[in-house]
Structure 1
Amino acid sequence: MSFLIEPETLLESIDDYTIIDTRFELMDQTKGQQLYESSHIPGAVYFDLNKDLSSVPKKHGGNHPLPDETTFTDKLRSIGITPETKVVIYDQGNAMFAARLYWLLDHYQHPTVRVLNGGFDRWKALGYPVTSVVKRKPMSSTPFVRNDELIVDIDYVIEHKDDFNITLTDARSLERYLGQTEPLYHKKGHIPGAKCFDWQQVLNSDGTFKSTAELEEVFKDLNKDEEIILSCGSGVSACMNYLALKSLGYKNVKLYPGSFSDWISHPELPVETNQE
């Protein structure tokens, strides 16, 4: 799959890439930075989910609103990214936070981005080099242009979620989708009309991505000619399904960044706990 890079390929030409470490833990929000400082792939820089890949939450907009444009593009320039830069992103092992950055780079139309298949766990398991040395990158002055066709907001979801040619999806686990458990939010369930496509279904048990044939089976109920709206809890894990669907040739795929956490910030909006 074109969005992936294998560890051995990265090792062979590591100096050709700008490598970004996105490790993070939702329940311990300093852990990712600590892991990076302790050990990372040589040359990698760190992007934090809260500080770099999101903006500060407000009353509405979800728990991980998209980052401010100036702040995010300044961060990209601070590590020297230009249109010619080949970027590799990695996470601990399941790629969820790497997928968020991949989507953001697509949103800002950066042409060459790859996700390390199996993440840092697989890199270490193969005995490849790691370091605690943090290196500064030269700055660039690259302009970035957003592609807002990749985004929908809550008003769009309210207006179009029941359209016959649009499918709203929810990437959270079936248990959270059904409201059987909810570790993060004050309401349980899902946006009415959303279909459950658990993001963990795109991965093998070792954190690598499933084959194209296996992914086709996971998403067989989605029509490639229709619009797909991706959601989850706060617009992070849904990006895993974005990676998979893009690799399968789905063209009209959009992210609702606020997702369920934005939806439930409006108390008048209903939630469902039944299988759609």
Structure 2
Amino acid sequence: MSVLIGAQDLLAALGSDQPPVIADVRWELGRDTGRADFEAGHIPGAQFVDLDRELAAPPGAGGRHPLPPPEVFQQAMRRIGVSNDRAVVVYDAANSLAASRLWWLLADAGHDQVAVLDGGLAAWTKAGQPVTAGESEHVPAGDFDGRPGQLGQVDSATLAALIDKGEAPVLVDVRGAERYAGENEPIDPVAGHIPGAVSAPSMDNVDADGRFVAPKVLRERFTALGVDGDAVLYCGSGITAAHTLLAMRSAGIGGGTLYPGSWSDWIRDPDRPVRTGPLP
């Protein structure tokens, strides 16, 4: 199954004998409006998933959005009808930043039939497809049995040790360039980036409509930055780094390691090095 699916292909899948589970993960940092947006209008049959409560643990050790406890994630997936042998399609409002978190968590747990709706709900409505209002309809519980740890991830202590020894792989900072440079930090208390990281803003993965740019363009961009399957990706709190891993998969680049705690976890230790400004 491709990691991306278009609106027309999703419509066809919904009309098949084995329709996918549809998960709505609309979310914006600092705005708890996802459920209200869902109830105002969503893809028919979709189930709302709360990113802050079901796809992340409370802020603290591990940063602003630590990975959720496996039992919490498994319960959430079963609630919306996910089973190991049933395809899942995930979407958000448009640019797939939030949807990528659920894609990564499911893939990391061993689910091999997960796709993100390219362009999100905006692409669905632009294609003339209907939406429905109200709460999630009741669905039979799924039997999803996750096995977290199937994808590469690294913690802060391991990464810091690799940097100290000069053995760190390519580090990729996917936040906006101004946050990477330390020119503007609207969220975390310390500005800058992890030493040695290259800047590759996640929003460069998509066009103005929120759709991922062509695989060839993505491959050329990643190659120019030295980003390959051995790279470690981080963002502010582990959400948008998954977006760039999804972009890598759509471009045919396997591998890639997620630093789930990302910048918000790195700066919890004041002894960890920080750099500002562009790389030489």
Q: TM-score range by the shorter chain?
A: over 0.9
Tell me how far apart the structure 1 counterparts of residues 23 and 146 of structure 2 sit (CA, whole Å).
18
Structure 2 runs not aligned, ≥5 long? none
Measure the CA separation in 2 of the matches of 1:93 and 1:137: 25
Shift of 1:121: 1.1
Rounded Cα–Cα distance in structure 1 between residues aligned with 2:227 and 2:266: 25
How far, CA to CA, are the matches of 2:253 and 2:127 in structure 1? 33
List structure 1 runs of 4+ shifted beyond 4 angstroms: 162-165
- Cα offset, 1:27, TM superposition: 2.4
> 5 Å matches for 1:1-276?
2-15=2-15, 16-28=19-31, 30-58=32-60, 60-133=61-134, 134-147=136-149, 149-161=151-163, 163=166, 166-220=169-223, 221-222=225-226, 224=228, 227-276=230-279
Of 35-44 and 134-143, more deviation after overlay is shown by 134-143
Deviation at 1:12, TM superposition (A): 2.2
Letter of the structure 2 residue corresponding to residue 86 of structure 1: A
Cα distance in 1 for partners of 2:249, 2:93 equals 22
Q: 1:251 to 1:159 in 2, by over 3 A?
A: farther
Pairwise CA distance, 1:17: 1.2
Q: For 2:252, what is the secondary structure of its paired residue? A: coil
8 Å CA contact 1:78–1:139 kept in 2: the answer is yes
Q: Give 1:11 deviation, angstroms.
A: 1.4
Q: Contact conserved, 2:215 with 2:252, CA < 8 A, in 1?
A: no
Q: Which moved more, 1:121-130 or 1:137-146?
A: 137-146
Shift of 1:149: 4.7
Task: State the shift of 1:105 in Å.
Answer: 0.6
Counterpart CA distance in 2 for 1:164 and 1:227 is 12
Q: State the AA in 1 paired with 2:153.
A: I
Partner secondary structure for residue 236 of structure 2: coil
**CA apart distance, 1:168:** 1.1
**Cα distance change of structure 1 residues 246 and 152 upon mapping to structure 2, 3 Å threshold:** same
Distance 1:182 1:266, change over 3 A: same
How far apart, in 2, do the equivalents of 1:148 and 1:4 lie?
A: 20
Moved more, 8-17 or 256-265: 8-17
Q: Contact conserved, 1:201 with 1:218, CA < 8 A, in 2?
A: no
* Cα deviation code 1:88-144 (max 9, x no counterpart): 000101100001111101110101011111111121222211001421111133322
**Displacement, 1:193?**
1.3
Aligned length: 273
Q: How far apart are residue 38 of structure 1 and its match?
A: 1.0
> Quick check: 1:41–1:130 contact (8 Å CA) kept in 2?
yes
Contact 2:153 2:257 in 1 (8 A): yes
Q: How far is 1:47 from its partner?
A: 1.0
Q: 1:258 to 1:109 in 2, by over 3 A?
A: same
Mapped contact 2:171–2:198 kept (Cα < 8 A): yes
The sequence identity of aligned pairs, in percent, is: 37
Deviation at 1:192, TM superposition (A): 1.2
TM-score, scaled to structure 1: 0.94
The 8 Å contact of residues 167 and 194 in structure 1, kept in 2 or not, is answered as: yes
- Preserved CA contact (<8 Å) 2:86 2:113: yes
Which residue identity does 1:143 align to in structure 2? D
Check the 8 A contact 2:107/2:150 in 1, yes or no.
no
Deviations 1:9-33 (A, max 9, x none): 11123251100001111121x2111
The CA deviation string for residues 239-264 of structure 1, in whole angstroms up to 9 with x for no partner, is 11101112333333110010000011
Contact 1:238 1:255 (C-alpha < 8 Å) held by counterparts: yes
Moved more, 105-114 or 149-158: 149-158
Which ranges in structure 1 are unaligned for 5 or more consecutive residues?
none
